[in-house]
Amino acid sequence: MHISRVSTILTCPDRNYLIVRVEADTGVVGYGDATLNGRERPVQVLVEEHLAGWLEGHEAERIEDIWQMLFRHTYFRGGPVMLSALAGIDMALWDIKGKAHDAPVYDLLGGRCRDRVLAYLHVHGRNDEELIARSRARMDYGCRVLRYSFETPDPRNPDTVYRQPHQDIATKERVEVTGDLRHAPAVWDSEVYMRDLIRVTHLLRDELGEDVGLIHDAHERLSVAEARQVARELEPYHLFFLEDPLEPLGVGALREVRAASATPLAMGELYNTVADTLPVLQERWIDYLRLDVTHFGGISPARRAATLADAYGVRTAFHGPSDISPLAHAANLHLDLAVPNFGIQEFVEHDARVFSVFDWKIDMSDGYINVPARPGLGVDVDEDAAARHPYTPGYLPALRDAMGAVHDW
Q: Which residues bind ligand CS2 (CB under 6 A)?
A: 37, 165, 167, 176, 217, 219, 269, 319, 321, 323, 346, 396
Task: Give residues 263-302 in contact with Mg ion (rule: CB under 5 A).
Answer: none
135 binds, among ligand CS2, Mg ion, none (CB under 5 to 8 A by kind): none
167 binds, among ligand CS2, Mg ion, none (CB under 5 to 8 A by kind): ligand CS2
The Cα 172–Cα 116 span in angstroms is 29
b/e code 205-237 from CB counts within 10 Å (16+ = b): beebeeebbbbbbbbbbbebebbbbbbebbeeb
**Shortest reach from residue 93's CB to ligand CS2, in Å:** 24
**Shortest reach from residue 337's CB to ligand CS2, in Å:** 21
Using Cβ positions, the residue closest to Mg ion within the complex turns out to be: 217
Q: How many CA atoms, within 13 angstroms, populate the side-chain half-sphere of residue 279? A: 12
Cα–chain-centroid distance for residue 17? 14
> Which residues are 364's β-sheet partners?
369
Q: Are 257 and 228 contacting, i.e. CB atoms less than 8 angstroms apart?
A: yes
323 binds, among ligand CS2, Mg ion, none (CB under 5 to 8 A by kind): ligand CS2
Comparing CB distances to ligand CS2, the nearer of 6 and 214 is 214
Comparing CB distances to ligand CS2, the nearer of 23 and 269 is 269
Comparing CB distances to ligand CS2, the nearer of 23 and 33 is 33
String of contacts with Mg ion for each residue 171-210, x by CB under 5 A: ----------------------------------------
Q: Is 217 in the site for Mg ion (CB under 5 A)?
A: yes
**Shortest reach from residue 296's CB to ligand CS2, in Å:** 13
The Cα 267–Cα 173 span in angstroms is 25
**Shortest reach from residue 409's CB to ligand CS2, in Å:** 8
**Shortest reach from residue 176's CB to Mg ion, in Å:** 10
The Cα 74–Cα 269 span in angstroms is 23
Q: Outline where 113-269 has alpha helix (H).
A: 128-140, 190-208, 224-233, 254-260
189 binds, among ligand CS2, Mg ion, none (CB under 5 to 8 A by kind): none
Comparing CB distances to ligand CS2, the nearer of 189 and 292 is 292
* 147 SS3 class: strand
Residue type at position 141: Y
**Shortest reach from residue 319's CB to ligand CS2, in Å:** 6
**Shortest reach from residue 396's CB to ligand CS2, in Å:** 6
Contacts of 193 (CB under 8 A, 6+ apart): 152, 162, 164, 221
The Cα 276–Cα 251 span in angstroms is 10
Q: Is 220 in the site for Mg ion (CB under 5 A)?
A: no
Q: Which residues bind Mg ion (CB under 5 A)?
A: 217
